[in-house]
Amino acid sequence: MCSIYIPTQQLSFYIRNPMNQIHTFTLENGLRVIIQEDFSTPLVVVNTLYQVGSRDEMPTQTGFAHLFEHFMFEGSVNIPEFDAPLEFSGGESNAFTTSDYTNYYNILPAQNIATALWLESDRMLSLAFEQESLNVQKRVVCEEFKEHYINQPYGDVWHKLSALAYKTHPYRWPTIGIDLSHVENATMEAVKAFFEKYYHPNNAVLAICGGIKKQEAEVAVRHWFSAIPSGKRVERAWPTEAPQAEARVLEVRADVPSNAIYKAYKMGKRTDSEYIALDLLRDAIAACDTAYLYLDLVKEKRWMSSITCYLTESLDEGLFVIEGKLMDGIAIQDVDEAIQLGIAKAVANLTENDLQKLKNKVETFWRFSETNLTNRAHNLAFFEMLSTASDYFDEFEKYNAQSLSTIKETAFRVFQNGKSNTLYYLKPITQ
């Protein structure tokens, strides 16, 4: 229950399926609703996305959006517990927090959809705001922090890397927060203010997918959500990150089993077209067994035991990250140089045939994720947050339309050493 979203190599979007149609409407209170009928399943997913993430936090109160996500399961104004009634209906629930948004989903037998709508609408209306629940969730989140970010080799990489890559934008801290004290110091007053500011229908998207008729789903949604008052429009303002002028390198030492390198290149927003080009390029650079850096550094030179790359997929300026672990006795500067050189070669060598391969890989991933109801509901909500839910049907076409020259131009623009943020994560010096 409740997890931090860590950027992975996974893509998240879907291909057009003529069988799939969506029904969308907006309630008077501003809640945007998307319904997709799918009678191939006896289940339904109710996915609620709130547009608030760790970028909305104050620098003195980091980790708050995620702590709040935990608190959302601690009972609402009319219902003492969130999970138990959902489990009683045969369902299950979870949530995750990113830098930009917080996503809650329930999967349950379709005939019991009212249970999920009842629970979700009540916690959108208001929470129980019990001090003891907050105290417990602060402890739980501190244990989560310890489990994943302190008591783990390389656990604080995102703390280091985000602070290196961003100097003024709130992306400079990770979703879990800068340190334990920020979580420990969270007050009920701040929790209430956060709810007031961000958790209202006009800052949310509700997506429903599964074995339910759209008219019935609409009636049920209107029944449970219409009376929730809308909130004040969210105004966002934070210092824009100044363009990075030169390469940044940070060296840290810790008790880790092998040396590791992390290189993060500044790139555009999720909605910029360069995102698509770079996402395709992942498999040419380091994300699969035929990628250039994997062949060069893991298979040929045998300098590294692993290498991969991924995009942060963020609403503001994001990162293209390459990371890997070094074999013993290899100089990290040599690896760093080889990565820079390798990216340039991977891009220069890219042929039309390679591009077709990249597109085919994306298409397979896309098609398989489409078979997952939970993914589909999340993505409809995600695309609605970006602009319009139906955009996700056209998303694969954007990949398919990429030309070799666009991809190469994008790569030359993004993979400049002056835009790189490199972390050398080294093991202790031995005598």
Among residues 301, 357, 398, 408, the one that binds other proteins under rule CB under 8 A: 357
- The side-by-side arrangement of strands in the sheet containing 92-97 is 3-4, 92-97, 102-109, 43-50, 204-210, 32-37, 22-26
Between residue 189 and residue 218, which ones bind other proteins under the rule CB under 8 A?
none
* Minimum CB distance to other proteins, residue 368 (Å): 6
Contact code string over 364-403 relative to other proteins, x by CB under 8 A: xx-xx-xx-x------------------------------
* Segment near other proteins (CB under 8 A); pick from 50-58, 88-96, 184-192, 310-318: 88-96
Q: Report the relative pairing of strands 260-267 and 420-426 from DSSP bridges.
A: antiparallel
Per CB under 8 A, the segment of 37-45, 166-174, 187-195, 418-426 that binds other proteins is 37-45
The answer to whether residues 158 and 164 touch, using CB atoms and an 8 Å cutoff, is no
Among 255, 351, 428, 429, the residue binding other proteins under the rule CB under 8 A is 255
Q: Give the residue with the Cβ less far from other proteins, 257 or 418.
A: 257
Q: Which of residues 126-185 bind other proteins (CB under 8 A)?
A: 135-144, 146-148, 150-153
d(CA 343, CA 338): 8
In the region spanning residues 311 to 340, those forming contacts with other proteins, defined by CB under 8 A, are: 325, 327
DSSP bridge pairs for 423: 250, 262
| Residue 413 binds other proteins (CB under 8 A) | no
CB-wise, 327 or 386, nearer to other proteins?
327
Residue number, 43 or 319, with CB nearest to other proteins:
43
From the list 35, 293, 298, 315, which residue makes contact with other proteins (rule: CB under 8 A)? 298
- CA dihedral over 413, 415, 418, 423, signed as positive or negative: positive
Give the contacts of 84 (CB within 8 A, at least 6 positions apart): none
Identify which of residues 215 and 226 has a Cβ nearer to other proteins in the complex: 226
Query: Is 217 buried (19+), middle (13-18) or exposed (0-12) by CB count in 10 A?
Result: buried
| Number of amino acids touching other proteins (CB under 8 A) | 79
- We find the least distance from the C-beta atom of residue 420 to other proteins, in angstroms, to be 25
144: CB partners within 8 A, 6+ apart? 2, 4, 176
Compute the C-alpha angle 266/269/274, nearest 5°.
80
Select 106 or 422, whichever has its Cβ closest to other proteins.
Answer: 106
User: In sequence order, which ranges of 64-145 are alpha helices (DSSP H)?
Assistant: 64-71, 83-88, 113-125, 131-145
Of the residues 200, 266, 282, 361, which one makes contact with other proteins according to CB under 8 A: 361
Q: Kindly give the pairing relationship between strand 102-109 and strand 43-50.
A: antiparallel
85 binds other proteins (CB under 8 A): yes
Give the contacts of 370 (CB within 8 A, at least 6 positions apart): 14, 15, 17, 376
